[in-house]
Every structure is written in C-alpha cells, then in structure tokens.
C-alpha cells in the first residue's frame, strides 16, 4: 500500500519530470558548455590572480614609501579602474583606511600589506651583491627609510657610475687575470676586449646606482677598479643610518651574549671581535639584524593593513565566449528541443495540479467570506489529496475554534460583569448617600475587586502560555515538601468548609519550577475543597508511574459524570450553567493547570466515579532523580 502511494505520489511525479528535463538539458548542452566555458574560466582565473598580485605589489610599494595610508586613495582608484576590482584597505580591526567602493567585507582578507613582513621573496630585488652574510629578513626592498640618498648624493654617485660603465665598455690594454676560485666558471679576457660590454646602471630604491653585468665579469682587478671602489663607498646618509643599525643590532646581540657587528649595505656584516663565526653566532646576527632593521624602518612605513580585493560581478573574457555560427545554431536547436519537451511535460503536469488547487482557492475564498461549511472534495492518495484533507480538517477546526471564541467572549463578559456591576452599584449608592461608605462596604468592594483581579491574572497566565511566553525556572526541589506547603496554605479554607486535608507522600527529588508547580497543585486543591461537602476529605499523594512522577489530588465529592470529564479543562467550563460563584470559581483554574503541566513537559488527567469523588493527576516526565 505504501509503495503504491509512493509511486503515485505527486513528489515522485515531479521528480520524474525534473529528471527527464534535466537529462535532456544536460545531454544536449553539457558538451557545448564545457567547450565554451573552460577556456573562459581559465582566462578569468589567470587574469584575477594577475590583478590581485598587481594590486598587492602596488599597495605594498606605497606602504614601503609612506608613513601612513592617508594618501593611498588615488592609487587605489587607479588600480580599481585598471582591473575592475573593488579594493579596500583596513586596519587589523577591519576599520576602513581607504576604499574604492562601499559594501560588506569578505570574511577573510585577500592579504596583509606589511612592508616590514612582505614574505620570503621580499629581498629578491635587492640585488645580487648582498654577500654571503646577508640577513634573511622579509622586509620589502622599497622600504629604505633613512637610507634614502639626498639629491646631491644621488647625482654624485650617478656620475661615478656612468664613468665606471664607460670604463668597463672600453677595450682593455692587457690580459686580465681571473681569480682561481672563478676559473671554473669563466676564462681570462684577452687584451683588447672590454671588461663588460653589457654593463649598465640600475637605480636602487634608495637612489644608489648599481652596475649590472654578466656574472663574473666584474671580478678581478682592472683599470675600472678604482671607480668601482669609489661607487661602493657609503655616503653620509648611509653612514648615519648604518651607525643607528649597528647600535640597535649591538644591543640585541649583547643581550644574547654575542659581540656586536659592523653592518654594511644590502645586509652584509662583519664581526667587531676577532672570534670564529659559529653557526649560532651567524643565526643570532641574522635574527638581530632583521629585527633591528624593522625597528629602524617602522617610523618610515605605513602600519600593517588588511587588503580586501573583490570582484563586483563575474566577468568572462569576450574571446572565451566567441562561438562560431555552427556552434550558435547547435545551441539554439538543442535549446529549442529541450524547451518544447519541457513545455509539453509541464502542461500535462500543470493540468493535473490546477484543478484541485482552483477548488482549494475557491473554498478558501468562501471561508474568508464567512462560510464555515466550505469544504473540498478529496480524491486520490497523493499530496494534493493530503492537502485537501488538511484543508477540510483546518476548516472544521476553525469552525470549532470560532464557536469556542464566541463562547469565551460571553464567558469573559459574564465573569467581568458580576463584580463590576456590584462595585458600580455600591459606589453609586454611596455617591447618592443611600448607604454610608463605611468599613464594611469598603471590605465588600475590595472582595469584588479581588475577584476581578483573580480573573484578570488567570487570563494573563493563559495568554502567556498560548503565546509561548510562559517562562519556567526549574530547580531541584522535594515534591513531598511542595505538597505539604500547598496543604498548609489551604488548611484554613479547608477547615472553614469542614473538609479534612491530608498529605500522603514521601520525600522525592524533582526538577521543576516550584512556583508554577505549586500554582498548578494549588488550583487542583482549591477546586477539590470547593466541591467536597463538609465532612469530606481531600488527599494529596505522590507515586511513580514508570519513569514518571504522578501527583494525585483526590477528593470525596460528588464526582464528575463520564460525559463531562473531557470538558473540565476547557476555559470557563462549569458543570452547572448558572455560573454561580457559590458552586464554582472563574472556570479558568483547571485550564491553567493543563497549561502549566504541558509547560513542564507533562500532562494532567481526571478519573472520577459519580458519587465517589474525583482524582486529578499531574503526570511529569522523567525529571526525577533517584
């Protein structure tokens, strides 16, 4: 039966239609899509990586040459215009420092822009003459700070460099010997050949010129050596910066028990003490030089920042989507066939769906117009039939709810009218001077006001429970102690009514809201005392029912007829229709008991034999502790 319902179900049919259309679509267009998009995606990814690297390098260079990010906006706008990307630079707390467009930031930044920690390749542009003792730091080579030469120093060194290049390109007068350690890589230059005919001048970020030539061409002595030596001499600016670096690195090394060093450009260094350079000493020097350089340059570079590079929208290169005429015809043909099949299948399925849905719509319109008898005809066993059955059930429930609502409005009006009428009548009599406003009258008015307040409080509790706002504060309690406390509270009322009130319970741990649970049990006790004649008995007891705890409130009253036991927990229900307060309360107490029991995850029930009394039981789930 279940299998037949599944095969005939609407869900299965819709899945079958979806699979059919999907198979046709995938089979007809997948091979075209793969061919036309793979290359476009590869080009887009490559372009995105290139753009990101370009943006990162440009902003890293800006940070290396500026002490803050205040003027970065024009550069970022230029990069954004060239790459079509959105660029945002923030501080470590993600507060924007500069941005090309607003919007939400991604969860993770694209990179961290820190010229003093630019990565393992930060020094690859620093030149090849750094020496074997170069410090392995991660500082961007464009961060020169105090090493930046003055205009006069740049001009002077440039003149020496140009003269040295001219010298290196002139033919030599004699054979130039090559050092022994270089003899395996190069050969001696014959007389008349230039030392380095490819020599050229390259400006470093600090403004110092450097001569580049093929490896090994500048080794050994030649006529140009004096010029090269002059070019290698430190300027006054560099000397001052290196002295500061010596002080910082010396302090760092002395803390580790090593002698200070004398530093040169490009990270070269020599020990100030005639000791053998061990591996530990070398590592300590490189570490101290790196940290000292960062400390020295910190005031000249922008602080570290988070870089966010995002694309406003996906874009594919036009070349990747350029299809031939035959390809476009194939796409149009396949798309047309799939479209026709999809339309045909959709029409067939739609015709099956539209009829029942229209009937449901018409019934809903009639119900909105006040027709409580609006129903739909249910046929079949699929989801549409289940929807129709649910609609009919909802309509019946709505009819019953509306009837209860009308009855409740009348009940509330009746409960409010009696105390309000009494209060108004006595107050009008007192105002007219018919009765004196003495203590007895005030006490009578107060009693009526308390009755009115009691009804209002009960309605508030029920409203909070219906809205799911009835908050519990569970805590470990002793159920027996709670029953004794309730019995003590109602003992005076029971004594006035001539009813014996007893508790038969042993200590039993329980986790519950003591105030709300006491309210529920108190309502049951009050109801039992009210309906038990003089000489009767009300007993509170505890018992276990499987893994649950049962709280019983039994009386020896007249009992409840079997036909009325299902109604006792309805709001404002009373066995007698006169609603006299001599025989009942507001009619809300048992409804509140049911809500409080449900809030604790339990239930409440009644068992009664007419003429032998009634027993109300609050059954709580396995919240007890042994």
User: Tell me, what's the pLDDT at 243?
Assistant: 92
Tell me: pLDDT of 540 over 90. yes
Ranges of H-type helices in 433-473: 439-466
Under the phi-then-psi rule, with left for phi > 0, alpha for psi from -120 to 50, and beta for the rest, what region is 233? beta
Is 294 found in the same domain as 313?
A: no
Is 76 found in the same domain as 37?
A: yes
Residue with more model confidence, 55 or 23: 55
Question: Which element (helix H / strand E) includes 558?
Answer: none
Separation CA 568–CA 617 (nearest Å): 13
In a domain, 330, yes or no: no
Of the pLDDT bands very low, low, confident and very high (cuts 50, 70, 90), residue 576 is low
User: Tell me, what's the pLDDT at 121?
Assistant: 44
Cβ contact 555:614 at 8 Å:
yes
CATH of the domain at 575: 3.30.565.10
Is 295 found in the same domain as 150?
A: yes
- The structural domain count of the chain equals 3
**CA distances from residue 587 to 72, 353, 412, 450 in whole angstroms, order as listed:** 75, 48, 10, 16
512: phi then psi, degrees, rounded to nearest 5: -165, 170
- The number of beta carbons lying within 10 Å of the beta carbon of residue 178 is 17
Tell me: pLDDT of 364 over 70. yes
Q: Which residues are 509's β-sheet partners?
A: 478
Of 267, 299, 331, which marks where a domain is finished?
A: 299
Question: Which element (helix H / strand E) includes 542?
Answer: strand 537-545
Separation CA 234–CA 171 (nearest Å): 29
The DSSP code sequence of 577-610 is: TT--TTT---S-HHHHHHHHHHHTT-EEEEEE-T
Cβ contact 302:68 at 8 Å:
yes
Of the pLDDT bands very low, low, confident and very high (cuts 50, 70, 90), residue 579 is very low
Cβ contact 514:596 at 8 Å:
no
Is 572 found in the same domain as 489?
A: yes
- The number of beta carbons lying within 10 Å of the beta carbon of residue 267 is 20
Q: For residue range 488-519, what is the model confidence (pLDDT) as tens digits?
A: 888 888 999 999 999 998 888 988 888 888 88
Of the pLDDT bands very low, low, confident and very high (cuts 50, 70, 90), residue 448 is low
Is 601 found in the same domain as 505?
A: yes
Separation CA 205–CA 142 (nearest Å): 5
Is 202 found in the same domain as 295?
A: yes
Tell me: pLDDT of 144 over 70. yes
Separation CA 289–CA 250 (nearest Å): 9
Is 166 found in the same domain as 34?
A: no
In a domain, 556, yes or no: yes
Instruction: Say what the pTM is.
Output: 0.43
Is 215 found in the same domain as 70?
A: no
Domain residue limits at 292: 145-299
Q: Residues 441-454: what's their mean pLDDT?
A: 70
Separation CA 263–CA 242 (nearest Å): 6
The DSSP code sequence of 94-112 is: --EEEESS-SPPPSS-SEE
Task: Give the long-range contacts of residues 235-238, CB within 8 A, separation 24 or more.
Answer: 235/149, 235/150, 235/153, 235/157, 235/208, 236/153, 237/146, 237/147, 237/148, 237/149, 237/150, 237/153, 238/147, 238/149, 238/206, 238/208, 238/265
Give the Cα-Cα-Cα angle 388, 393, 394 (nearest 5 degrees).
95
Provide the 8-state DSSP code for 209. E
In a domain, 452, yes or no: no
Q: Residues 215-235: what's their mean pLDDT?
A: 76
Among residues 487, 573, 488, which one has the least CA distance to residue 528? 487
> How many residues make up the chain in this entry?
626
Q: For residue range 418-427, what is the model confidence (pLDDT) as tens digits?
A: 567 767 777 7
In a domain, 248, yes or no: yes
Is 17 found in the same domain as 155?
A: no
User: Tell me, what's the pLDDT at 185?
Assistant: 45
Nearest 10 degrees: Cα torsion 469, 475, 480, 483? -30
Is 257 found in the same domain as 221?
A: yes
The b-or-e profile of 413-435 (16+ CB within 10 A means b, else e) is: eebbebbeebbeebeeebeeeee
Tell me: pLDDT of 609 over 60. yes
Q: For residue range 401-418, what is the model confidence (pLDDT) as tens digits?
A: 776 666 566 556 655 665
Of 287, 321, 355, which marks where a domain is finished?
A: 321
Residue with more model confidence, 497 or 586: 497
User: Tell me, what's the pLDDT at 473?
Assistant: 84
Of 274, 290, 321, which marks where a domain is finished?
A: 321
In a domain, 391, yes or no: no
Is 316 found in the same domain as 177?
A: no
Tell me the average pLDDT of the chain: 77
Question: Which element (helix H / strand E) includes 352?
Answer: helix 325-368
The DSSP code sequence of 478-532 is: EHHHHHHHHHHHHHHHHHHTT-EEEEE----EEEE-HHHHHHHHHHHHHHHHHHS
Is 285 found in the same domain as 174?
A: yes
In a domain, 597, yes or no: yes
Tokens linked to 410: 């009348």
Separation CA 35–CA 288 (nearest Å): 56
In a domain, 57, yes or no: yes
Q: Residues 442-449: what's their mean pLDDT?
A: 72
User: Tell me, what's the pLDDT at 531?
Assistant: 87
In a domain, 562, yes or no: yes
Q: Looking at 122-126, 201-205, 421-425, 523-527, which range is the least confident one?
A: 122-126
């Amino acid at each position: 039966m279940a299998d037949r319902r599944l095969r005939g179900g609407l869900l299965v049919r819709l899945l079958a239609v979806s699979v059919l259309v999907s198979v046709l679509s995938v089979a007809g267009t997948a091979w075209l899509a793969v061919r036309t998009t793979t290359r476009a995606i590869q080009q887009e990814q490559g372009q995105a990586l290139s753009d990101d690297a370009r943006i990162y390098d440009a902003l890293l260079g800006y940070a290396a040459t500026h002490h803050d990010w205040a003027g970065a906006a024009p550069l970022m706008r230029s990069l954004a215009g060239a790459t079509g990307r959105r660029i945002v630079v923030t501080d470590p707390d993600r507060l924007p420092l500069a941005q090309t467009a607003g919007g939400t930031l991604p969860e993770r930044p694209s990179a961290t822009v820190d010229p003093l920690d630019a990565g393992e390749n930060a020094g690859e542009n620093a030149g090849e003459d750094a020496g074997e003792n170069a410090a392995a730091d991660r500082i961007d080579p464009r961060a020169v700070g105090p090493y930046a030469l003055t205009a006069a120093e740049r001009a002077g060194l440039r003149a020496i460099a140009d003269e040295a290049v001219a010298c290196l390109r002139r033919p030599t007068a004699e054979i130039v010997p090559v050092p022994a350690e270089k003899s395996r890589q190069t050969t001696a230059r014959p007389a008349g050949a230039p030392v380095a005919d490819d020599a050229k001048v390259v400006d470093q970020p600090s403004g110092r010129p450097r001569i580049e030539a093929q490896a090994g061409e500048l080794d050994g002595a030649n006529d140009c050596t004096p010029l090269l030596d002059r070019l290698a001499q430190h300027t006054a600016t560099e000397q001052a910066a290196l002295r500061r670096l010596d002080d910082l690195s010396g302090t760092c090394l002395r803390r580790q028990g090593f002698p200070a060093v004398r530093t040169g450009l490009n990270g070269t260094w020599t020990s100030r003490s005639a000791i053998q350079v061990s591996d530990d000493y070398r590592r300590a020097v490189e570490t101290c030089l790196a940290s000292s350089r960062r400390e020295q340059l910190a005031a000249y570079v922008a602080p570290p920042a988070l870089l966010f590079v995002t694309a406003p929208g996906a874009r594919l290169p036009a070349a990747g989507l350029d299809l031939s005429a035959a390809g476009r015809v194939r796409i149009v043909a396949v798309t047309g066939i799939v479209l026709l099949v999809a339309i045909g299948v959709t029409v067939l399925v739609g015709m099956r769906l539209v009829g029942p849905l229209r009937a449901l719509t018409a019934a809903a319109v009639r119900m909105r117009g006040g027709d409580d008898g609006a129903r739909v005809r249910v046929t079949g066993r699929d989801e549409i039939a289940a929807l129709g059955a649910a609609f009919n059930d909802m309509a019946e429930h709505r009819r019953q709810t509306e009837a209860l609502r009308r009855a409740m409005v009348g009940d509330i009006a009746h409960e409010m009218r009696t105390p309000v009428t009494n209060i108004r009548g006595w107050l009008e009599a007192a105002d007219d001077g018919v009765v004196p406003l003495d203590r007895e009258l005030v006490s009578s008015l107060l009693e009526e006001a308390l009755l009115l307040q009691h009804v209002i409080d009960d309605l508030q509790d029920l409203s909070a429970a219906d809205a799911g706002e009835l908050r519990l504060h569970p805590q470990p309690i002793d159920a027996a102690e709670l029953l004794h406390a309730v019995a003590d509270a109602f003992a005076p009322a029971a004594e006035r009514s001539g009813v014996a009130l007893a508790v038969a319970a042993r200590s039993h741990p329980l986790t519950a809201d003591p105030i709300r649970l006491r309210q529920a049990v108190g309502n049951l006790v009050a109801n039992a005392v009210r309906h038990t004649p003089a000489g009767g008995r009300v007993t509170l007891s505890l018992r276990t029912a499987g893994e649950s705890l049962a709280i019983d409130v039994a009386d020896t009253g007249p009992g409840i007829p079997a036909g009325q036991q299902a109604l006792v927990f309805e709001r404002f229900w009373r066995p007698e229709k006169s609603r006299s307060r001599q025989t009942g309360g507001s009619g809300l107490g048992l409804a509140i008991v049911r809500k409080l029991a449900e809030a604790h995850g339990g239930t409440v029930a009644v068992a009664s034999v007419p003429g032998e009394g009634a027993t109300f039981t609050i059954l709580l789930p396995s919240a007890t502790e042994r």
